[in-house]
Homo-oligomer: A and B are copies of this chain.
Amino acid sequence: MKNHILTISREFGSGGRTIGKQAAEQLQIPCYDSQLIQQIAQESGFAEDYVRSAEESTPGIVTSVFSTRAMGPTNEDYLWEIQRRVILHLAQQGPCVIVGRCADYILREEARCLTAFIHASLEYRMDRIVRVYGERPESPRQRVRDKDKKRAAYHRFYTDMKWGYAKNYHISLDSGSLGIDRCAEILTSLYRSLTP
């Protein structure tokens, strides 16, 4: 049977990861965020096996760190493929929350997903990243804009969907206006109402 998975896409600084963690705690299910998935992909025997098998089945396709896509899959493509497998694997283990990494797209046929998008105003996110992640050499505005661009490009490249469109998700929430706790409560309650 397919598991019920809450996937959370989010703008940088919107608190999507915190919302995912809070919802997972309330639902008593695991929460996997982007960093964790990347770590699992890099550390797990599963991922190492996959890289090995990929090498075996497609000789020479693992190119150097200087690879470009014209020469075949890049290192980013490999990381994407490994992460995709990790996400599919995690979704098969049981109900969970997955934050980021286009999990909604990866699991669209493989799980019963409740797909959420968390966004907030530029001002709210600029303020929040300084409070949560501290000061950096770049201005908060620059940091948010850079990350926004990268996430939109990543999403577009791997899923071919327009970033930020309401139609891509079952529910989209403005965490800046509604508050992080309230967003977590809405998702928790909605997830509960959808699961038997």
Contact = CB atoms under 8 A, between A and B. Distances in A.
Given A186-B186, A190-B186, A193-B182, A174 B170 contact: yes
A171 interface: yes
Interface string A102-117: 0000000000000001
Interface string A152-183: 00000000000011110111111001100010
B182 A174 contact: no
Q: How many monomers of this protein are in the complex?
A: 2
A189 interface: yes
A4 interface: no
A170 B171 contact: no
Chain A contact patch, size range: 20 to 34
A21 interface: no
Interface string A13-55: 0000000000000000000000000000000000000000000
A167 B165 CA distance: 8
A77 to B, nearest CB: 28
List 3 tightest A-B contacts by C-beta distance, closest first. A166-B172, A172-B172, A166-B166
Given A117-B172, A189-B189, 5 more contacts: A169-B172, A170-B178, A171-B173, A171-B178, A186-B190
